[in-house]
Structure 1
Amino acid sequence: MNIGEAAARSGVSAKMIRHYEAIGLIGAVRSANGYRVYGERDVAVLRFIRHARDLGFPLEDVRRLLALWQDRNRASAEVKRLALAHVAALESKADSLRRMAASLRHLAAHCHGDDRPDCPILDDLARKD
């Protein structure tokens, strides 16, 4: 199948398929005329990548997970370690986002939001650390 068909069947855009090929996550066979040709296995790999990316895994972790998925002699302990490390990173990011939201909420509560030029939000952004 061509790249458009692979994109439609995997849910990964043709642009991203080209990117994944360029960084070595997926390979593509070229036909005699130079067009990329994909098979069912390629679509399965693209779906795997899409699902991993939907869960927020960085590309290097996707690369590791893909290698583990393709290794039938793998130990699931390594997969679990990667998943739990990613959970910790997501939770840390969520905590950071909550702190940012609380800070902005506090600043917005102290902004009059009227016609006056005084604005604690801008003052905070401009402050010297």
Structure 2
Amino acid sequence: MSTGIEKPLPKGMPNCLKKRRLLNEKELSPDLCREYGEKFLALGWLEDALEFFLKGNYQEGVDKIKAHCLESGDAYLLGRIVKQGDPELWRRVADKALELGKLRFARRALETAGEKEKAAALDFPPAGEETLH
């Protein structure tokens, strides 16, 4: 829900239009990608940080985001980094998501791990009830 009051971007951060232009440039320097990615990461803007880390092929930054996904059970953000592969990684994310009450995240991680039956067994709260994430 928006309050109608927008916070100004911190100095040196691109607005959404500049960010789009930067990410669409064919030859954006890896150093600039790393710099913007680290700035967005420091602000907690993980999606934006990841876009710049991926654009600049900055694996250390991508690994930071991946670590966050493991700590927070964020299967959706992890899905932007790891498309399939390691079922054990996805099970770990599912376990963390369940621990934190993030049922949709857990279901997504279990499905990606190939555990369709476990994913289907997760119950969602009735409409109108809040979850913990």
TM-score, scaled relative to structure 2? 0.25
TM-score, scaled relative to structure 1? 0.25
